[in-house]
Amino acid sequence: MDCVFCRIARGEIPARTVFQDEHLIAFDDIHPAAPVHVLIVPRKHISSLAGASEEDVLLLGRMLLAARDVARARGIEDKGYRVVANTGEHGGQEVFHCHLHVLGGMPLGRILPPR
């Protein structure tokens, strides 16, 4: 599969890996938007959250727990962080292999409208 995240998962493109196991790989984003910016990527090619299905329930749960573990390992758990899944055109998705961004290490501001 000629997909950048599949290629990283197969070790064909180098990445600064934070964590990996049989299901997932986590690595630093090449263009960090915050002091900590890690991507959580399943080894299985799923195009986006919109392309996920019932059979991916366990994998999606593993991705969230990996985000938690990465945040803990990078020392941003206490202050807090944000987990983002850009999805589709309006979501600003650029790489069509489902992934989570873990962002932290600075105040991120509020992206939802003020109440």
62: contact with Zn ion by CB under 5 A = no
State the number of binding residues for ligand AMP (CB under 6 A).
12
Chain positions 33 to 62 lying near ligand AMP, rule: CB under 6 A, are 39
- Report the SS3 class of residue 55: helix
Helices of type H across the chain: 4-9, 57-73
Chain positions 73 to 112 lying near ligand AMP, rule: CB under 6 A, are 86, 92-95
How many whole angstroms separate alpha carbon 31 and alpha carbon 28? 9
Q: Pick what 29 binds: Zn ion, ligand AMP, none; C-beta below 5 to 8 Å, kind-dependent.
A: ligand AMP
Say if residues 104 and 74 touch (Cβ distance below 8 Å): yes
- From residue 11, how far is each of 4, 36, 46 by CA, in Å? 11, 22, 18
Q: In terms of CB distance, is 4 or 78 closer to ligand AMP?
A: 4
Residue nearest to Zn ion (CB): 3
Q: How near is the Cβ of 9 to ligand AMP at its closest, in Å?
A: 11
